[in-house]
Amino acid sequence: MPMGITLLDLSAYIGLTAVGAVTLNMLLGTLMIFRYSPVRHWPHRRFNYFRMHNISGYLALSLALVHPIVLLFDKSAKFRVIDLLYPVHSPSQPLENTIGAAALYIVAIVVATSYLRIRLGRRVWKSFHFTIYVAAAALLWHSLFTDPALKNSPPDWFDGGKLFVEGCVIIIIATAVLRYRHSLSQNRPLSRE
């Protein structure tokens, strides 16, 4: 590892990348709802954004799994395996870490049920799939309020990592509003004239 990058830094960077992957995943999911065509619109090329949506989901889950595992190898963090699986009594910021663990578990459920979507049926699968919004809220809460140095310091809202997460919050809220408005317009009965 290059000089200056600690295991805590590595864990934080992996976590930030997971936030980016979840944000990208939700953005691509919203494009699918709107039936966006990359051929007719930018980038005016064929590209399978459904596949990219799947890959970003797998990437988000993988990174969310690796993010806390790195802490096991940092002696100063004092995290044990039980603190990762059930962080209610973790050595640092147990509330924030429990919320982060909940986000990880929900993302895992969303990915697992995506494999079973045909067996589950569209309605049941969709109700599982939309829990990604709960996972995103938990992930963003964890990312915003956890001290990356694990010293229980208050958040520095102008730190580069926090600014990145704040930008992801704005993107996710905007896509959620667009998706909600779209679902309202799809469920609106046609007016008879």
Which of the four pLDDT bands, split at 50, 70 and 90, describes residue 44? Answer: confident
DSSP 8-state code for residue 89: G
Distance CA(156)–CA(166), nearest Å, equals 12
Give the residue-averaged pLDDT of 36-46. 77
Domain assignment present for 171: yes
Distance CA(87)–CA(106), nearest Å, equals 15
Q: Per-residue pLDDT tens for 59-116?
A: 999 999 999 999 999 999 999 999 999 999 999 999 999 999 999 999 999 999 998 9
113 near 148, Cβ under 8 Å?
Answer: no
For residue 136, what are the CA distances in angstroms to 61, 74, 132, 169? 12, 27, 6, 9
Domain assignment present for 110: yes
What total number of domains does the chain contain? Answer: 1
Which of the four pLDDT bands, split at 50, 70 and 90, describes residue 182? Answer: confident
Whether residue 188 has pLDDT greater than 70: no
Q: Which of 9-18, 37-46, 184-193 has the highest mean pLDDT?
A: 9-18
CA torsion sign, 150 to 151 to 157 to 161? negative
Domain assignment present for 46: yes
Q: Count other C-beta atoms under 10 Å from residue 8's C-beta.
A: 18
For residue 135, what are the CA distances in angstroms to 77, 103, 104? 25, 4, 7
pLDDT for the residue numbered 163: 97
Which contiguous run of DSSP H or E holds residue 144?
Answer: helix 132-145
Which residue matches tokens 């690796």?
A: 66
Q: Which amino acid is at 106?
A: I
Domain assignment present for 1: no
Give percent of the chain with pLDDT exceeding 70.
95
Domain assignment present for 71: yes
pLDDT for the residue numbered 24: 96
Domain assignment present for 105: yes
Domain assignment present for 2: no
Give the residue-averaged pLDDT of 45-67. 92
Provide the token pair at 102. 């909940």
Domain assignment present for 193: no
Distance CA(160)–CA(4), nearest Å, equals 17
* Residues of the domain holding 125: 7-187
pLDDT for the residue numbered 129: 92
Provide the token pair at 156. 């520095």
